[in-house]
Structure 1
Amino acid sequence: MTQRSGLREQKKQATREALRAAALRLALERGPGNVRVDDIAEAAGVSPRTYNNYFSSREQAIVAAVTSERETRVAAAVAARPATVRLADAVIDAIVDQYTTQGESGRDALLLIATSPALRDAFVHAATTIEHPLTAAIAERLGDVDPHTAHVLAACVAAAVRVSLERWLQPTSPAATGLVVPSGALPDLLRASLAPLAPALDAAEKRSDCRRR
């Protein structure tokens, strides 16, 4: 990467972070329904057109502030586990840790998300962003294996996470539109949803080990 392209990427990342921070701050101050895209863009010091280059809605920007870089952290956590650790354990532990470790600001943001159906939908959908980084991390662990295997496994993990979040944030009644009280312990829901994938992860790891011998 050249110095110029490196600076360009840094500027893009700084803009994305400014938009995320502005979106969450305004939503906490005013309520998500009282925040416009123009308000977020102005608070971040960019134009609405620039905003649309990064996010497709206000909900996406607000949720991005909560899920910021989570997909990268999940992949990094899997890659960092020693080779002696079972792949299924590495993946499940990374998911549970990154989805359930929240600071005070994170808890406030999750409470905000729980009050809005649109934010809940965006939050659940954001689980799909872990797929590609996790594909790379699984492929690295498996080594010389069918290139589609890691992608399929990562996609299944992302789907399991989405199912867990949907259950966790499910309204108590079909007509409920206000505050949703999260149902059950999220770590338990994540582990229960991911458990059926353990045999597939084990099988892929076993095939990889056989090829290396």
Structure 2
Amino acid sequence: MTAEPGLRARKKAATRLALGHAAWSLMLERGLDAVTPESVAEAAGVSSRTFRNYFGSREEAIVDEWSRRHASLADAVRARPADEPVWDSLLAVLPRALTDIVGERADFAVLLRVISESPAMLAQNLLALDRTGQLLAEVIAERTGADADRDLAPRLLAGSVLAAVSTAATFWVTGGARTDLPDLLRECLDHLRAGLPTADLAPTA
């Protein structure tokens, strides 16, 4: 009896993952206009009704793949040694993780172009980044003894780190950077670290 709900949940998660991956792949291969509930459902091997049970729009489905990659950042930071300074954890995790998040340069260039041309895609991307920022702020708060709900510093650091991630990835694609993506992010994080020392992450009274 107890195994059935777990199996149902895994099946639902697998279906959502397949739909999101199909939507992402269709966008990369054929462009945003080719992404419809029907085309995504067909690629994932389900009905268009099933698509609508999981996603309210094609944009939400496309960004779901991107959002999943971003959400892994918080888990990776949480997995670092508990006594490791938070900046050391961020520098150890983020440059390596960003390569997996961004993927191929050409694919990320497509995503940036679609976001710039589609307000709906831009909105979904901002929502995904906001969710990632919340997760990262929670991890930073855990590691610094702060409160993510009451203290400003974890949210500020999380937002700044995500800005560095976005800046490095965008510059890597559009700025003609010859530097490797992880090195670009390390440079961004080093600049931030100089202006956001961990001493400022103490909880407020």
Fold match by TM threshold 0.5? yes
The answer for the alignment partner of 2:99 in structure 1 is: 100
The answer for the alignment partner of 2:7 in structure 1 is: 7
Distance in structure 2 (CA, Å) of the matches to 1:99 and 1:13: 24
Distance in structure 2 (CA, Å) of the matches to 1:19 and 1:131: 24
Determine if contact 1:78/1:94 at 8 Å carries over to the other structure: yes
Unmatched runs of 5 consecutive residues or more in structure 2: none
User: How far 1:10 moved relative to its partner?
Assistant: 0.5
User: Relative to structure 1, is the Cα distance of residues 125 and 50 closer, same or farther in structure 2, using a 3 angstrom cutoff?
Assistant: same
Q: Deviations over 1:65-106 (max 9, x none)?
A: 2443431x2122212222342113323543333223468x64
User: How far 1:164 moved relative to its partner?
Assistant: 5.4
User: Relative to structure 1, is the Cα distance of residues 28 and 131 closer, same or farther in structure 2, using a 3 angstrom cutoff?
Assistant: closer
The answer for the alignment partner of 1:137 in structure 2 is: 139
Identity within the alignment, %: 31
User: Relative to structure 1, is the Cα distance of residues 190 and 81 closer, same or farther in structure 2, using a 3 angstrom cutoff?
Assistant: same
Unmatched runs of 5 consecutive residues or more in structure 1: 171-180, 209-213
The size of the alignment, in residue pairs, is 193
Partner-residue secondary structure (3-state), 2:174: coil
The answer for the alignment partner of 2:18 in structure 1 is: 18
The answer for the alignment partner of 2:107 in structure 1 is: 109
Mapping 1:144-163, distance limit 5 Å: 145-146=146-147, 148-149=149-150, 153-154=154-155, 156-158=157-159, 160-162=161-163
Q: CA RMSD in A?
A: 3.7
Distance in structure 2 (CA, Å) of the matches to 1:107 and 1:27: 15
User: How far 1:196 moved relative to its partner?
Assistant: 7.0
Distance in structure 2 (CA, Å) of the matches to 1:69 and 1:140: 21
* 1:127 aligned onto 2:129: yes
User: Relative to structure 1, is the Cα distance of residues 96 and 197 closer, same or farther in structure 2, using a 3 angstrom cutoff?
Assistant: farther
The answer for the alignment partner of 2:200 in structure 1 is: 203
User: Relative to structure 1, is the Cα distance of residues 12 and 87 closer, same or farther in structure 2, using a 3 angstrom cutoff?
Assistant: same
User: How far 1:40 moved relative to its partner?
Assistant: 0.6
Q: Deviations over 1:126-145 (max 9, x none)?
A: 222213432442343235x4
Distance in structure 1 (CA, Å) of the matches to 2:41 and 2:191: 38
Determine if contact 2:148/2:155 at 8 Å carries over to the other structure: no
Distance in structure 2 (CA, Å) of the matches to 1:137 and 1:23: 30
Q: What letter matches 1:182 in structure 2?
A: T
User: Relative to structure 1, is the Cα distance of residues 81 and 197 closer, same or farther in structure 2, using a 3 angstrom cutoff?
Assistant: farther
User: How far 1:19 moved relative to its partner?
Assistant: 0.5
User: Relative to structure 1, is the Cα distance of residues 18 and 155 closer, same or farther in structure 2, using a 3 angstrom cutoff?
Assistant: farther
User: How far 1:41 moved relative to its partner?
Assistant: 1.9
Q: Deviations over 1:99-129 (max 9, x none)?
A: 23468x6434213213322387244542222
Q: What letter matches 2:166 in structure 1?
A: L
Q: Deviations over 1:21-68 (max 9, x none)?
A: 211222233222222122112222333343234333323322332443
Determine if contact 2:73/2:97 at 8 Å carries over to the other structure: yes
User: Relative to structure 1, is the Cα distance of residues 87 and 166 closer, same or farther in structure 2, using a 3 angstrom cutoff?
Assistant: closer
Determine if contact 1:156/1:197 at 8 Å carries over to the other structure: no
The answer for the alignment partner of 1:165 in structure 2 is: 166
* 1:76 aligned onto 2:75: yes
